[in-house]
Structure 1
Amino acid sequence: MSISDVITLLGGVALFLFGMSLMGDGLKKVAGNKLELVLYRLSSTPLRGVLLGTGVTAVIQSSSATSVMVVGFVNSGMMQVKQAIGVVMGAILGTSITGWILCLSDISGGSGWVDLLSTATLTGIVAVVGIVLRMAGKKQSTLSVGNILMGFAVLMFGMSSMSGAVAPLKESEAFTGILTSFSNPFLGILVGIVFTSVIQSASAAVGILQALAITGAVTYEVAFPIIMGIAIGAAVPVLLSALGANIHGRRTAFVYLLIDVLGVVIWATVFYTANAIFHFPFMAATMTTVSIAFLNTLFRLATVIVLVPFIGLMERFVCFLIPDKNGADPAKLEMDRLEERFLQHPALAIEQSREVTSAMANTACRNLMDSLDLITTYSEKGFQLIQELETTVDRFEDKLGTYLMKITVKSLNTRQSEEVSKYLHTISDFERISDHALNIAECAKEIHEKSIVFSGEASHELKVLETAIRDILSLAVNTFIENNTEDARRVEPLEEIVDTLCDEMKSHHIDRLQRGVCTLNQGFVFNDLLTNFERVADHCSNIALALIELQSDSFDTHEYVRSLKQVKDDSFAKYYDEYKIKYSLQ
């Protein structure tokens, strides 16, 4: 084998890997950008998980990519480890599809119409159609189909280059001797592991083995241990992807390795024990691209069938091997949803941002409600809890803000851009609500430490206003979480009522000061409470208006502030009158 042949072989491997990547990316785009959402939503049972894992891997042409995606799902809390095991099994099976595609390289020409079925002719036709679609296509779907066809053509050309480069090896005794040494099961498995770990693709490793099979020097006893080693080696990129993952993500990555190792141990033990007893005659049979594809699929299918009933046991085993030594922080678990891996899939990244923003909203709401309770029932423990929750909400804003900005640089459609804008606006409002919760808690602390007692009139008015604040906050948070634009339209009228109440209460307080019913010492903290209540209502209004603007497909950051007080449709007066009666100070 000359240097020229070696260079041709390496070039063929490069084309093969590039073609597989190009075809996989095109297939995924044609399947739609919600493929990942389907994967994690429809994997509720082991059988569904296996089928979906197989299907998705057949589309994106990489078990490692599917498994890395699943590690991200588990790491972010979208999927449980038990669900992920079924999907990983499906990915391990689905990656064998590429081997069957490569069997087309065995098609040879003849004369006349038969010549049209040759690999070279088929590849040429596919390449021509693909490049025409790429150059003339206007729609993204047409370009994606062109990419699929071009990827297939490049993959087949790479396969042909590899086959041509290794063809002279059929006459080499040294090469035959090296391959014969791989018939030792342990050495063959080790070679498969190392080779696949280096090129980071089980499909490519099987493809190269198929190219070598064209020389006629690959026998069953050589191919079987290498295929088993390839299965184990495919776990390396998945394990590497989990280095920065949480405990659940690492468990999921280890499951990939566990499944393949168990498959190798089970079938190697069964097969070689049976061979020692019965001496199978097909061990020296020469392998073809088709027989290698069949053996690869059969090995993976048999492994999945045997291990599916033991998914629960495997989950307990990985939990035992990788124990969770630290207690889980609920807020951190929510923020872990913001996986960097999902940034390549905007639909998923936005969905996760929505979940985390909802968690932030609930935390801010809880913080404000607790601070209102402190006004009448103060405790130092309650005050400290509000400080801790305020820190948590700040962490939410930092994490979400950074993540959402990373999403904005991706290729988004109009609706996705509007959703990201909505979240960027609302997280600052939720953070400010939590700030006001801390301010109110400090007012409560001052009332407690200075033993301030409000007059009966002031206490009654504060109770009415507090009820309105609780209602507007609950309404704003619930409408955001449920994406309920109808209820969102009730927020702005209530915000107007809160503003009116605050103005009336300030006027009443001045009157009480003049009559000597209230003191200046009471007045300072009273006005501080009113100011914070009014600001909370303003932020609730911002949240509701952001939701209304998005729903009407007119979300514009420049128009956002200007329109805050202008969304007064026919229902505004109706809701305003209703709230005016409900929150009367009389």
Structure 2
Amino acid sequence: MKRYYLAATTGALLLAFWFSPALQEIAAGVAIFLFGMLMLEDGFRLLGGGRLERLLGAATRSTPRALLFGVVSTTLLQSSSLVSVVTISFLSAGLISLVGGIGIVFGANLGTTTGAWIVAGLGLKVNIAAYAMPMIAVSALLVFQKAPVPRGIGYALAGVGFLFLGIHYMKLGFEDVQGQIDLARYALPGLLGLVVYTALGAAATVVMQSSHATMVLILTALAAGQITYENAIALAIGANVGTTVTAMIGALGAGYQGRRLALAHLIFNLATAALALILVAQLREAVDLVAARTGIAEEDFALKLAVFHTIFNAAGIVLMLPLMRPLVRLLEWRIPEPVPDVSRPRYLNAAVDDFPETLESALRKEVLHLYDNATKLILHGLNLHREDVFGARDIGAAVRASRAPIDLDIGDGYERRVKTLYAAIVDFATRAGGRKLAPDIAARIDALRDLSGGLVRAVKSVKHIRKNVLRYTTRPQGAITDLYDELRTQVARVVVAIRDLGLEEPDARSVLWLDQEAAQIEADARSRNARVGALLQDGALDPAAATSFLNDASYADAAMRELVTAALAYYAEEDRAVAEVEELLALDEEEIGEAAGTPAAPTGERTATGLSQTKGRLPRNTGSGSL
């Protein structure tokens, strides 16, 4: 379908050139203008270094701030489509709320009207081509620099230069066409003209994927007398409707939240267009009143169109803001949250691929999803329920009370809940590695991929001991049952302690205790070996059972080490200064070995060490929700 669409569009364009060579100048102007927008966007991305994304995350704490961010960012970038796509990306990654995203989209619609003011107030009254040429010439020196800042400045400067040049050629093209064809002859007054030209404005925006480019085309045609003011108003209304297509396309690869935002964008623009069409006469009177108060000439239809464009977009915001909550409820009803499929990625989708901030955040959330699946499978493999373990004041007692066998095919669970998700994480991280990311972001993505592998290995370790857990813990069988209960308690303690670490506020969280946890694992292993030896000497344990237990214990130790290592990597302090202090305080391998040689208290009498032991204020809940 895309091939036919491209061929038909190209054919129609060439046919138009054949009948009117002057149209080539207009088409070239549009193409140069669109190219300038792309360069301007690339320049801001290079200069931003993720700042746009970070600002977006902070801008959604209230609806007024979200609106303001939408206005300011679109004014700077001159592209409401880019702002909408970035917003969909952040919403899909779970970094902003749906209400905040809607506020940004509303503000972006108002911000895009500044482009009409720039063109009508400057581009059509000044020979901007004289400024465009030096800008493009200087930008050529900067875009070939390796440093991101001068390259970003070069792209942004070239973008502005090409925007000016595109406007200049569109203006010249319409002036040349005026001598050959009088497009004003096709003007349609009244209701028919409103409907037809609104549809034409929407279609032009869909083709060019830019309402800003459509508005420039309308303004230059209006200034050249090729369209009437009345029809230009209808075209501007249609351009607002057409710009929603870009957001809809951007939401195709997004999650359900991204699709909700795209639908909100469509509803807002359709409601705004309907309001403008119904009240077009009153809005024109308001434009005349503003023009009279601000000194805009009665025949300066380009500036009056810019006023109209601003007024009807502002009116749309005034109309929709009180309806924000009902709109959210409608979106949630129309696009419900899908029933979670634990075997499929929740956050890794095409909408988060283009922006480093969302890419890393989505991967972190997906690793948390993998951890949630892995720990549930690990505890079930040990015949333990998470709600029992997480809600227990005495983990050892909760473990000893867990005798009923859990119906679980751990091999199937591993394939569905862990392996497929891990494959998606590796694929996503590999794709991210092919992008030009900042070294620190690339390193963190690699670390997230690697710790995911550790979670997979932890599940595999528990797979090996599942058979004997069923054999020895579903009913009391003396010393061997006590040994397996202690082993289950040690694993549960590590899982609970990591959960408690995740429940801490980020600024209060410290990973120093993980070194103590690693030392405790080694101390437990030594104490366990000594106890097994004593039980063998006393005849309380037969050699076959002892051998099976020691093998299983080595697998359990491996699983616990992988979990602790994963938690260390996940919660590693990003602030270098704090990290250096923690490095000085952390135990090294030799100290861990020394600590492991100290006697350990009986496992069943301990609760989780580290945070669980020293920070009694931590809440208890029945879900993991943390790594």
Mapped contact 2:44–2:156 kept (Cα < 8 A): yes
For 1:272 and 1:552, the matched residues in 2 are separated by 58
Q: 2:280 aligns to what SS in structure 1?
A: helix
Q: CA deviation at 1:187?
A: 0.9
Amino acid at match of 1:237: T
State the Cα distance separating 1:379 from its structure 2 match: 3.6
Q: 1:164 to 1:308 in 2, by over 3 A?
A: same
| Number of the residue aligned with 2:566 | 543
**1:431 aligns to what?**
456
Equivalent position of 1:214 in the other structure: 223
Inter-partner Cα distance in structure 1 for 2:48 and 2:250 = 24
Residues 548 and 364 from structure 1, CA distance in 2 versus in 1: closer, same or farther, beyond 3 angstroms?
Answer: closer
SS of aligned partner of 1:88: helix
Query: 1:440-455, aligned counterparts within 5 Å?
Result: 440-447=465-472, 453-455=476-478
Aligned to 1:42: 59
* Deviation string, structure 1 residues 215-250 (Cα, Å, up to 9, x no partner): 134332111111111100111122223334444332
Counterpart-to-counterpart distance in 2, 1:436 and 1:296: 64
Select which of 269, 272, 288 maps to 1:260.
269
Q: 2:129 is aligned with what amino acid?
A: A
> Of the candidates 54, 67, 82, which is equivalent to residue 65 of structure 1?
82
Letter in structure 2 aligned against 1:156: F
The answer to whether 1:352 aligns with 2:362 is: yes
Q: Give the secondary structure class of the aligned counterpart of 2:22.
A: helix
Q: In structure 2, what is the Cα distance between the partners aligned to 1:425 and 1:274?
A: 60
Cα separation, partners in 2 of 1:518 and 1:134, compared to 1, 3 Å: closer
| TM-score, scaled to structure 2 | 0.78
- In structure 1, how many angstroms separate the alpha carbons of the residues matched to 2:567 and 2:548? 29
- 1:412 counterpart (427, 431, 437): 437
Q: Choose which of 106, 129, 136 in structure 2 pairs with 1:89.
A: 106
Supply the distance in 2 between the matched residues of 1:582 and 1:185 (Cα, whole angstroms): 83
The one of 92, 95, 119 aligned to 2:128: 119
1:307 paired with 2:320, answer yes
Whether the aligned pair in 2 keeps the contact of 1:54 and 1:91 (CA below 8 Å) is yes
| 2:600 counterpart of 1:581 | yes
Q: 1:327 to 1:295 in 2, by over 3 A?
A: closer
**Aligned 8 A contact 2:255 2:349 in 1:** no
Partners of 1:318 and 1:202 lie apart in 2 by: 25
1:5 alignment partner, one of 22, 46, 64? 22
Counterpart of 2:491 (choices 469, 484, 492) is 469
User: Given that residues 32 and 166 in structure 2 are in contact (C-alpha distance below 8 angstroms), is that contact kept between their aligned partners in structure 1?
Assistant: yes
Quick check: 1:167–1:214 contact (8 Å CA) kept in 2? no
Rate the CA distance shift 1:508–1:417 in 2: closer, same or farther, 3 A: farther
Q: Which position in structure 1 is the counterpart of 2:621?
A: none
Q: Distance in 2 between matches of 1:486 and 1:448?
A: 34
- Which residue matches 1:140? 148
CA-to-aligned-CA distance 1:26-71 (integer Å, 9 cap, x gap): 1233233132233134313221221122223233332222223333
Q: Which amino acid aligns with 1:147?
A: Y
Mean alpha-carbon deviation: is it higher for 69-78 or for 59-68?
69-78
TM-aligned CA deviation for residue 78 of structure 1: 3.4
Q: Is the 8 A contact 2:252 2:259 kept in 1?
A: yes
- Is the Cα–Cα contact under 8 Å of residues 205 and 242 in structure 2 kept in the other structure? yes
CA distance in 2, matches of 1:275, 1:156: 29
Distance 1:413-1:19 versus aligned 2 partners, 3 A rule: same
Q: Tell me, yes or no, if the aligned pair for 1:476 and 1:491 is still in contact at 8 Å.
A: no
* Aligned-residue offset at 1:24: 2.0
Following superposition, the deviation at residue 521 of structure 1 comes to 6.0
- Distance apart, 1:254 and its partner CA: 1.2
- How large is the RMSD of aligned CA atoms in angstroms? 3.6
**1:248 alignment counterpart:** 257
User: How far 1:427 sits from its partner (Å)?
Assistant: 0.4
**Partner Cα distance (1:166, 1:79) in 2:** 44
| Structure 1 Cα separation of the partners of residues 226 and 434 of structure 2 | 51
Deviates more, 1:165-174 or 1:474-483: 474-483
Structure 1 counterpart of 2:526: 500
Quote how far apart the aligned CAs of 1:350 are: 0.9
Measure the CA separation in 2 of the matches of 1:188 and 1:150: 33
CA distance in 2, matches of 1:203, 1:66: 13
Q: Does 1:318 align with 2:331?
A: yes
Among candidates 527, 545, 552, match of residue 529 of structure 1: 552
Counting matched residue pairs gives: 550
1:369 counterpart (376, 379, 394)? 379
Q: Which residue of structure 1 aligns with residue 339 of structure 2?
A: 328
Aligned to 2:309: 296
Pick the structure with more helix per residue.
Answer: 1
Q: Which residue of 2 aligns with 1:100?
A: 117
* Residue matched to 2:613: none
Check 1:46–1:327 CA distance in 2 against 1; reply closer, same or farther (3 A cut).
Answer: same
Residues 541 and 498 (structure 1 numbering): CA distance in 2 closer, same or farther, change over 3 Å? farther
**Hey, what does 1:25 align to over in structure 2?**
42
Distance (Å, rounded) in 2 between the aligned partners of 1:529 and 1:274: 78
1:153 deviates by 0.6
Contact 2:511–2:568 at 8 Å: present in 1 too?
no
| Unaligned runs of at least 5 residues, structure 2 | 1-16, 292-296, 385-398, 577-585, 606-627
Gaps of 5+ in 1: 109-117, 554-565
Distance 2:415 2:403 in 1: 17
> Percent identity, aligned pairs only?
17
Within 2, Cα distance between the matches of 1:581 and 1:255?
59
1:491 match:
517
Residues 193 and 552 of structure 1, relative CA distance in 2, 3 Å threshold: closer
Which amino acid counterpart does residue 307 of structure 2 have in structure 1? F
Q: Does 1:149 align with 2:157?
A: yes
Q: Distance in 2 between matches of 1:417 and 1:75?
A: 21
Q: Distance in 2 between matches of 1:530 and 1:570?
A: 23
In the other structure, the counterpart of 1:159 is 167
CA distance in 2 between counterparts of 1:179 and 1:574 reads 90
Paired residue type of 1:491: E
CA deviations on 1:334-364 (whole Å, 9 max, x unpaired) are x322232222112221122122212322432
| Alpha-carbon distance in structure 2 between the residues aligned to 1:411 and 1:388 | 36
How far off is 1:11 after superposition? 1.5
Q: Distance in 2 between matches of 1:192 and 1:519?
A: 85
Is 1:357–1:400's contact at 8 Å kept on the other side of the alignment?
Answer: yes
Deviation of 1:459 after TM superposition, in Å, equals 4.2
- C-alpha distance in 2 between matches for 1:546 and 1:582: 28
Question: Is 2:174–2:221's contact at 8 Å kept on the other side of the alignment?
Answer: yes
The Cα of 1:476 is off from its aligned counterpart by 5.2
In 2, Cα distance between equivalents of 1:249 and 1:58: 23
- Say whether the 8 Å CA contact 1:472–1:495 is kept in structure 2: no
Distance 1:273 1:151, change over 3 A: closer
1:51 aligns with 2:68: yes
